[in-house]
A and B are shown apart, each in its own frame.
Chain A
Amino acid sequence: MQYLPNILFSIALAAGIGYFTLNIRKIIRNIKLGQEVNASDNKGQRWSNMVRIALGQSKMVVRPIPGLLHIFVYVGFVIINIEVLEIIIDGIFGTHRVLSTILPEGLYNFLIGSFEILALLVLVGVILFWTRRNIQKLKRFWNPEMKGWPKNDGNFILYFEMVLMVLFLTMNAADQSLQSLGAAHYVEAGSFPISKFIVPLIDGFSEGTLFAIERGAWWLHILGILIFLNYLYFSKHLHILLAFPNVYFGKVTPKGKFKNLESVTNEVKMMMDPNVDPFAAPAEGTQEAPSKFGASDVMDLSRIQLLNAYTCTECGRCTSECPANITGKKLSPRKIMMDTRDRLEEIGKNIDKNGEFKPDGKQLLDDYITREELWACTTCNACVEACPVSIDPLSIIMDMRQYLVMEQSAAPTELNVAMTNIENNGAPWPYNQMDRLNWKNEN
């Protein structure tokens, strides 16, 4: 019986990590449904982006207030995890504050002290975030795509973090009281700059009650963390992990450079080169032209674009800078990312159920993202610039336009006129190519 807590703890830990691993595997499988891309270039640039943008949060502080609050929460979250390490060791081996026996006293006290201060900062950050969402009602959190789950998700995370931090501080407060009572097992260790203010609230409680509070908070805290870990998969909070690879794989060429479709290049070369026999069999090793241009569903997108979709934090910074969205058009780059993730998840579930993907009569185009949204984009790159985790919503819009134009010839009429003009007159307007130099003699 003595080892019951250790055993229970180990089971909970294994279950928590096991289920999490399972879901991460699913994410990887789903991302692999996308087209392969080669991103082995610019390694130095990519690593430095990751350090600056993901680790250093450089894009977050572009908006100073939420940026700073986010840094509190982020740094707190990362550093307090050292404490979680101690909790896990204690849990498995039945020790108490094991690090205090390994680390020099001064260092241990410093660590626990900083965790507490960080916990307070996280608490402050999270409360202010909640206020911005729910009281101040910042516009970007109230766009149409933020109804239902996305809205609740945003708040759940904040409640979660509040509860975790309060549990952490309560645990420490009870621990202190037990330490000062000289309770067995409770070594004197740690400094508690914040939770000492909670101590008066539990002053005079019996050792038994304090023990119950301390253990209760300890267990709820670590179980909470395990639940939170598994919540990530269902949430926009996945970004705390995926932001790193996502930024690494983010665009490293000038934003204005759109990729040239190689399959098209081959065909155009063939058309323009009089020496090529168009009916000749493709040379050995050359790629067959893909059966499809552009994207109508998530499988047509690249793996990086799908990783983008899982990474999106739904912060709406992109949408709040989007000229189309600002002027009331239906387009919202955030929604493009959310739709992509939703559709990808739908396909993932389909595969879970059927063993492989069974066509469900749906696709990303029309069932999720409408043509009206796609045609409203000015390709201005404001969304790409605004995204704190290097997501490129514009690339998805472009791929889908390519599908519309090249597979379906479904461009808006005026665009078809402009394109016919380019084809015939070398300009998007119906002028004669021979008049191109007329400006020279006009006054």
Chain B
Amino acid sequence: MAEYMAQGKQPEVLFWVGCAGSFDDRAKKITKAFVKLLHKANIDFAVLGTEESCTGDPAKRAGNEFLFQMQAMANIEVLNGYGIKKIVTACPHCFNTIGNEYPELGGTYEIMHHTQFLKSLLDEGKLKVEGGKFKGKKITFHDPCYLGRANGEYEAPRNLLEKLEVELVEMKRNKKHGMCCGAGGAQMFKEPEAGDKDVNVERTEQAMETSAKIIATGCPFCMVMMTDGVKAKNAEENVQVMDVAEMIANAEDL
């Protein structure tokens, strides 16, 4: 972004990568896949790079409002400093926090989840996909809580999957009633409380009941949780977990 600024230009959209997308090995692949798609569609975008910092979502959901607001205000200062208007992110938590909780703190932007953004690119004809290697494959979609229930977006990712001509099989609990992968509320960063089972294993079992070959999702944290769930069930051979953006990029062999 700093480079854009130096040239006195404004990008069409800012890609907010997020902590997972920047540091988590698995999530970085999603980041790269999404960037490939952005390039392919000739989107003029920028990232904040080292100026980006955690949105504060995990701090807020853990109850640390102080830390959250410090993060939020620091980020807002950077974003407003660059005059950013439109943001796209591949993380539903960043999407929710920036979209819902930043405005009151002085940061109002048009924000899109990457599945929404990709859908708009397809609708505008800037990007084309065909079934490719996923055509007819049995695929189930796991709704990330902070995209689905929290913000009511169930259709954009499903639309993309439709474009890939997959056979979409829904889990019993989907959309509004979708079950959490177990990562939210800062659970990602702590051991679960004592119980009979881990949430991600339960959710993975629900996904495997559909006998889908791929569990598609749209959140780096769901990705980690579901991947671990598949490992816990020793099913890596049969079931893959993929982000919708990766699937599109893969279908195109990008």
Residues of A within 8 A of B (CB): 253-258, 260-261, 264-265, 267-269, 271-272, 293-294, 321, 323-324, 326-331, 372, 375-382, 384-386, 398, 400-406, 411-412, 414-415, 417-419, 422-423, 426-429, 431, 433-439, 442
A-B contact list, 25 entries, CB within 8 Å: A256-B146, A257-B96, A257-B100, A258-B100, A260-B69, A261-B69, A265-B69, A268-B69, A268-B70, A271-B70, A323-B202, A324-B193, A324-B199, A326-B179, A327-B198, A378-B199, A380-B149, A385-B149, A403-B63, A404-B63, A412-B191, A418-B189, A422-B71, A428-B19, A437-B47
Also in contact, A427 and B19, with CB within 8 A (given A258-B101, A327-B199, A379-B184): yes
B-chain residues with CB within 8 Å of residue A264 when the two chains form the complex: 65-66, 69
Chain A residue contacts of B211, Cβ below 8 A: none
- Chain A residue contacts of B70, Cβ below 8 A: 268, 271-272, 423
* A-B residue pairs, 4 tightest by C-beta: A256-B150, A401-B63, A328-B196, A379-B185
A-B pairs with beta carbons under 8 A, tally: 215
- Which one of A256, A400, A433 lies within 8 Å of B151 (CB-CB)? A256
Q: A418-B186, A431-B23 are in contact. Are A327 and B60 (CB under 8 A)?
A: no
Are B182 and A378 closer than 8 Å at their CB atoms? yes
Cβ contact within 8 Å between A375 and B190: yes
Whether B49 sits at the interface, judged by CB under 8 Å, is yes
B189 partner, pick from A382, A401, A414, A426, beta carbons under 8 A = A414
- What residue in chain B is nearest A294 (Cβ atoms)? B63
Q: Which of B24, B67, B194, B203 is close to A422, meaning CB atoms less than 8 Å apart?
A: B67
CB nearest neighbor in A for B61: A379
Identify the closest chain B residue to A263 (Cβ): B65
Partner of B22, one of A256, A260, A414, A439: A439
Chain A residues with CB below 8 A from B74, complex form? 272
Complex Cα gap A428–B62 (Å): 12
Inter-subunit contact B180/A380 (CB<8 Å): yes
Knowing A323-B180, A329-B193, say if A272 contacts B150 (CB, 8 Å). Answer: no
Residues of B within 8 A of A436 (CB): 17, 22-23, 49-50, 52
**B157 contacts A by Cβ under 8 Å:** no
Chain B, residue nearest A267 (CB) = B66
- Minimum Cβ distance to chain B for residue A67 (Å): 14
Smallest Cβ distance from B9 to chain A, in angstroms?
Answer: 19
Residues from chain A with Cβ under 8 Å of B169 in the complex: none
> 8 Å CB contacts to A: which residues of B108-152?
145-146, 149-152
B73 at the interface (CB under 8 A from A): yes
Which partner residue on chain A sits nearest B176 by CB separation?
A385
- Cβ contact within 8 Å between B179 and A415: no
The smallest beta-carbon distance between B187 and chain A, in angstroms, is 5
A405-B62 in contact given A380-B180, A439-B32 (Cβ < 8 Å): yes
Docked CA distance A375–B56 (Å) = 18
Contacts known (A323-B179, A415-B62, A422-B71); A433 close to B186, Cβ less than 8 A: no
Is residue B58 within 8 Å, beta carbon to beta carbon, of the partner chain?
yes
A236 to B135, CA, bound (A): 52
Q: Is B239 an interface residue (CB 8 A)?
A: no
Cβ of B92 to closest chain A Cβ, rounded Å: 8
Known: A254-B152, A380-B180, A382-B180. A402 touches B65 (CB 8 A): yes
A255 and B186 alpha carbons, distance in the complex (Å): 17
A254 contacts B100, CB within 8 Å?
A: yes
User: Which chain A residue lies CB-closest to B195?
Assistant: A328
B192 contacts partner chain A, Cβ-Cβ < 8 Å: yes
A329/B195 in contact, CB under 8 A:
yes
Instruction: Determine the distance from Cα of A257 to Cα of B67 in the docked complex, in whole angstroms.
Output: 17
Q: Does B177 lie within 8 Å of A382, measured CB to CB?
A: yes
User: Does B197 lie at the interface of the complex (its beta carbon under 8 Å from any beta carbon of A)?
Assistant: yes
Interfacial chain B residues near A261, Cβ < 8 Å: 65, 69
Measured CA separation A271–B73 after assembly (Å): 11
Q: A329-B192, A382-B149 are in contact. Are A437 and B22 (CB under 8 A)?
A: yes
The reply to whether the CB of B28 lies closer than 8 angstroms to some CB of chain A is yes
B150 touches A378 (CB 8 A): no
User: Are B58 and A418 touching (Cβ within 8 A)?
Assistant: yes
Contacting pair A380 B195 (CB below 8 A): no
Known contacts A254-B151, A422-B56: A378-B196 contact under CB 8 Å: no
Q: Which residues of A contact B186 (CB under 8 A)?
A: 415, 418
Nearest-neighbour CB distance to chain B for A143, whole angstroms, equals 14
